[in-house]
Amino acid sequence: MAQAREVKMQAEALNAFLAEVYPQIADDFRIDRVAPMEADIRLLTAERHLRPGGTVSGPTMFALADLGMYAVTLAMIGPEAMTVTTNAALDFMRKPASGRDMIGRARLLKLGRSLAVGDVLLYSEGMDEPVARAGMTYSIPPRR
Amino acid sequence: MAQAREVKMQAEALNAFLAEVYPQIADDFRIDRVAPMEADIRLLTAERHLRPGGTVSGPTMFALADLGMYAVTLAMIGPEAMTVTTNAALDFMRKPASGRDMIGRARLLKLGRSLAVGDVLLYSEGMDEPVARAGMTYSIPPRR
Amino acid sequence: MAQAREVKMQAEALNAFLAEVYPQIADDFRIDRVAPMEADIRLLTAERHLRPGGTVSGPTMFALADLGMYAVTLAMIGPEAMTVTTNAALDFMRKPASGRDMIGRARLLKLGRSLAVGDVLLYSEGMDEPVARAGMTYSIPPRR
Amino acid sequence: MAQAREVKMQAEALNAFLAEVYPQIADDFRIDRVAPMEADIRLLTAERHLRPGGTVSGPTMFALADLGMYAVTLAMIGPEAMTVTTNAALDFMRKPASGRDMIGRARLLKLGRSLAVGDVLLYSEGMDEPVARAGMTYSIPPRR
């Protein structure tokens, strides 16, 4: 397990990889920080992410949680584009603040050979209390 | 409970309401069918909903499930724009077929005064086996 | 997939298998019915399952959902004691009726090589509306 | 919110309250520690909690998570026996170690007027990596 806990991709490498495999969202999200079993991801909030009233939409928050889990998993296993979400459980607790980026703080709780399990807390930047919490499971394809 | 089971908004009224409160997604989704405690919603799949490889993205499937639950709830309680998602639990089971609309089949399991609970099965149109399943909880604001 | 849909263990065989591998709960639960991708399981409600006020406890309902998923999975793949729950998402919607058995109606939505996904609706016997709903994922060990 | 963060019941008071309202499980669980928005709960592991092979059963882990959330909620709002679980999402990640107590570390992420949302990490005592994770929602009855 010790070995699994070494970071294999830092934030810069993750951002480059995301831009390559998901070019259509590369302007929306940015990995801010990576540490063993942890990653912080930022939603660069723009008009297209908002619902009427100025709050970030549910699907955008889902995307932030999903990419946070993807980022922390890839940080630990290296570039594996085929890693896919199998389960997501989200609690929406508070309205996001309007006019702010959102930050997803992802941590891995288990990094197995075929499944990774983690959670992501979503914050409006500068706020102490989380807007949402997501538990996520990823399926990791077998090594060739 | 009998009373709660009368449909208050049919598909046409729901589509008009969605276009009014969520104009930015009115071209993406359409309510196809409403029945007591049930609604079918369609993703009019377009390029912008896809990930590389041509499959519908996770956030788009989340949006489809979320709107399916919104539609079936409003079908039963009438137009309440402020109804909000509090919990969503999603299992992603199969790849969506490429080049097809997706259909969300939503049903309400509980319609209480302050909470509605339901689930949504997501299909690629014409396929027998579900792509994803979502359990959803909505908070209904107190009546004025 | 056609092949996966043939029942490999009927209710009688499942009850015998449960009694062998989980003798401590054999008096609490009974498989009532098996069909392709479906199983009904019964909680033989007794004093030890109740909370003050006479309603079935949360952990007992969890056990009912968990065994329902186990039953339907084994019905389709045959006796595999090592199949384990990896994820469970439960919504508790209504109070169980007191003094009644509970019935869990389990269905498989996906039966893959390494994961089975399904859901279970829990009812107080004789009632129309579900007490709880559970989405469950099981990990199936690799074949030797 | 500051006000909500004062502990209203310490561990001793919670243990006394649990013994009164849930006498049948008072020998199984004990609140070890309370802090603002946090509580640790212990499963006093005994033969009756085990599955064949000596690991703690799934329903017992559900009970530990459920009581952890109950404890942290009551710690913050005071004795409210009628608080009920509405949603639970559990990931089972590792086998519990045999022959050990289990510890549930519960934290509240939201304490609203009608809903409390939190999560609980479950550990085998003395182990670094969690056995399971639970996201829980509780409904708080309206004040009389």
Could you identify the residue written with the tokens 């995301």? A18
- Average the pLDDT over each of A21-30, C36-45, C99-108 and give the range with the smallest value: A21-30
Please report the number of interchain residue pairs, chain A to chain B, with beta-carbon separation below 8 angstroms.
60
Query: Which residues in chain C have Cβ-Cβ distances shorter than 8 Å to D29?
Result: none
Question: What is the Cα–Cα distance from A136 to A113, expressed in whole angstroms?
Answer: 16
Secondary structure (DSSP) of A16-68: HHHHHH-GGGTTTEEEEEEETTEEEEEE---GGGBPTTSPBPHHHHHHHHHHH
Q: What's the pLDDT tens digit per position in B41-66?
A: 999 999 999 988 889 999 999 999 99
Q: Report the SS3 class of residue B68.
A: helix
With a cut of 80, say whether residue B105 has pLDDT above it: yes
Q: Provide the sign of the torsion angle of the four alpha carbons A106, A124, B66, A24, taken in this order.
A: negative
Complex confidence, ipTM: 0.94
Task: For the beta carbon of residue A5, count every other beta carbon within 10 angstroms.
Answer: 11
Probe site for chain C from D62, D67, D115 (most C CB atoms < 10 A):
D62
- Which one, of A57, A40, A56, A61, lies nearest residue A103 by Cα? A40
CA dihedral A64, A68, A69, A75 (to 10 degrees): 160
Q: What's the pLDDT tens digit per position in C3-29?
A: 458 999 999 999 999 999 999 888 999
With a cut of 80, say whether residue D1 has pLDDT above it: no
Res. C83 pLDDT band, cuts 50 70 90: confident
Judged by a CB distance cut-off of 8 A, whether residue A112 touches chain C is: no
Query: Which residues in chain A have Cβ-Cβ distances shorter than 8 Å to C114?
Result: 114
* All chains having 3 or more CB pairs closer than 8 angstroms to chain C: A, B, D
Task: For the beta carbon of residue D39, count every other beta carbon within 10 angstroms.
Answer: 30
With a cut of 90, say whether residue B83 has pLDDT above it: no
Probe site for chain A from B92, B122, B133 (most A CB atoms < 10 A):
B92
Res. B1 pLDDT band, cuts 50 70 90: very low
With a cut of 60, say whether residue A9 has pLDDT above it: yes
Find the CB nearest C110 among B93, B110, B119.
B93
pLDDT of residue C128: 95
Question: What is the Cα–Cα distance from C14 to B137, expressed in whole angstroms?
Answer: 34
Q: What's the pLDDT tens digit per position in B72-81?
A: 999 999 998 7
Q: What is the pTM of this model?
A: 0.95
Strands of the D29-35 sheet, one edge to the other: C29-35, C38-43, C102-111, C115-124, C132-139, C84-92, D84-92, D132-139, D115-124, D102-111, D38-43, D29-35
Query: Which residues in chain D have Cβ-Cβ distances shorter than 8 Å to A117?
Result: 91, 93, 133
Q: What is the mean pLDDT of residues C71-79?
A: 96
Say which residue, B131 or B54, is predicted with more confidence: B131
| H or E element, residue C57 | none
Res. A2 pLDDT band, cuts 50 70 90: very low
Find the CB nearest D130 among A94, A109, A137.
A109
Left if phi > 0, otherwise alpha if psi is -120 to 50, otherwise beta: which for B121?
A: beta
Find the CB nearest C114 among A87, A114, A137.
A114
* All chains having 3 or more CB pairs closer than 8 angstroms to chain D: A, B, C
Q: Do C60 and D62 touch (CB under 8 A)?
A: no
Question: What is the Cα–Cα distance from C104 to C83, expressed in whole angstroms?
Answer: 19
With a cut of 60, say whether residue A68 has pLDDT above it: yes
Probe site for chain C from B69, B114, B117 (most C CB atoms < 10 A):
B117
Res. B99 pLDDT band, cuts 50 70 90: confident
pLDDT of residue C143: 67
Q: Do C63 and D58 touch (CB under 8 A)?
A: yes
Instruction: Assign domain D3-139 to its CATH superfamily.
Output: Hotdog Thioesterase (3.10.129.10)
Q: What's the pLDDT tens digit per position in D68-126?
A: 999 999 999 999 878 899 999 999 999 999 889 999 999 999 999 899 999 999 999 99
Q: What is the CA radius of gyration of chain A?
A: 15
Cβ within 8 Å of D, B 39-98:
86-87, 89
With a cut of 90, say whether residue B143 has pLDDT above it: no
Question: What is the Cα–Cα distance from D124 to D105, expressed in whole angstroms?
Answer: 11
With a cut of 90, say whether residue B38 has pLDDT above it: yes
Q: What's the pLDDT tens digit per position in A116-141?
A: 999 999 999 999 999 999 999 999 98
pLDDT of residue C1: 42
pLDDT of residue D2: 41
Give Cα A86 distance to the centre of its chain. 15
- Which one, of C40, C102, C42, C101, lies nearest residue C72 by Cα? C40
Res. A4 pLDDT band, cuts 50 70 90: low
pLDDT of residue B3: 46
HSE, side-chain direction, 13 A CA sphere, residue B68: 33
Find the CB nearest B94 among C110, C129, C130.
C110
Residue A135 sits at the vertex; the CA angle it makes with D95 and C73, to the nearest 5 degrees, is: 55
pLDDT of residue D14: 97
Mean pLDDT, all residues of chain D: 93
Res. D4 pLDDT band, cuts 50 70 90: low
Looking at chain B, the whole-number percentage of residues with pLDDT higher than 70 is 96
pLDDT of residue B2: 41
pLDDT of residue C142: 80
pLDDT of residue B4: 53
pLDDT of residue A143: 67
B39 strand-pairing partners? B34, B106
Q: Provide the sign of the torsion angle of the four alpha carbons D34, D38, D42, D48, taken in this order.
A: positive
pLDDT of residue A58: 96
